[in-house]
Amino acid sequence: MALRQLQILFPNAHVWTDAICINQANEAEKSHVVQHMGQIFHAAARVYAWLGPADPGVDDVGDSSDALLDHLQQIGDLFWDTAGPDSRLDEMPFDMDPILAELLPELNEMFETPSEKGGFPTLAYTRFSNRDYWQRVWVLQEVYLAQKLIFCCGDKVMESKTLAGALILLSSYQNSPSQLPATPKCTAYSCTPPSTQPQPTPCALL
């Protein structure tokens, strides 16, 4: 399913997929390639992380994964636009006080509005945070080393920097004395900023 969806989203991408490109029946080959996995993911122009199929939600209350990712995209864009588009994750910690002061009205409105009327889909966020992908310790190296990491969930895609910005802002908001009580708890997340060095064309799929 991941490869089929990737073909639809990025029809011209040349993809290296470890589960296919490594002979899983050959222990010697697996052992040899595993030693170079860090180099492979670091050298890839883009790393696509498949989070799984879209979640349609429950009882049509606006808590689908598509609705969630739209909100996270919006929150991530708000964060980086306010922090400065040239800001980098390796410049953390950010001075969140002026950022929150500017964005607090929009965030309060987002969490005050019910999800079925376009508010933040808290239930979808909980299910998203519990997806199997976030429990796999072995992907941390690939996530950390990727020059450019793109998360794919159903037919939705999001760059890791955008997701990280959204979670940084949500984490600060939930600890703000001015936040509304319905704010979801954020999943811990870390990643490296996109590299400014020229990148090769092959892509990798987690």
Confidence of residue 198 (pLDDT cuts 50, 70, 90): very low
Backbone φ/ψ region at 113: left (φ over 0), alpha (ψ -120 to 50), beta = beta
- 98 cis-preceded (ω within 30 degrees of 0): no
How many Cβ atoms from other residues are within 10 Å of residue 141's Cβ? 13
Q: Which domain holds residue 140?
A: 2-205
Read off the pLDDT of each residue in 151-155 and give the average, rounded to a whole number.
91
Q: With CA atoms as reference, report the closest residue to 29 among 39, 42, 20.
A: 20
pLDDT of residue 39: 85
pLDDT of residue 53: 92
* pLDDT at residue 192 is higher than 80: no
Contacts (Cβ under 8 Å, ≥6 apart) of 52: 131, 132, 133, 153, 154
E strands, the chain, in order: 15-17, 46-52, 149-153, 156-159, 203-205
pLDDT of residue 61: 63
* pLDDT at residue 138 is higher than 80: no
CA distance 96 to 57: 32
pLDDT of residue 184: 56
Position with higher pLDDT, 143 vs 196: 143
Q: Are strands 156-159 and 149-153 parallel, antiparallel or unpaired?
A: antiparallel
Tokens of 91: 């410049």
The domain total for the chain is 1
pLDDT of residue 60: 61
pLDDT of residue 190: 38
pLDDT of residue 66: 93
Please say whether the beta carbons of 198 and 39 come within 8 A. no
Q: With CA atoms as reference, report the closest residue to 164 among 187, 139, 141, 140.
A: 187
Confidence of residue 102 (pLDDT cuts 50, 70, 90): very high
What strands lie across the sheet with 156-159, from one edge to the other?
Answer: 15-17, 203-205, 46-52, 149-153, 156-159
Segment 69-96, tens digit of pLDDT: 999 999 999 999 999 877 877 766 788 8
pLDDT, the chain, mean: 80
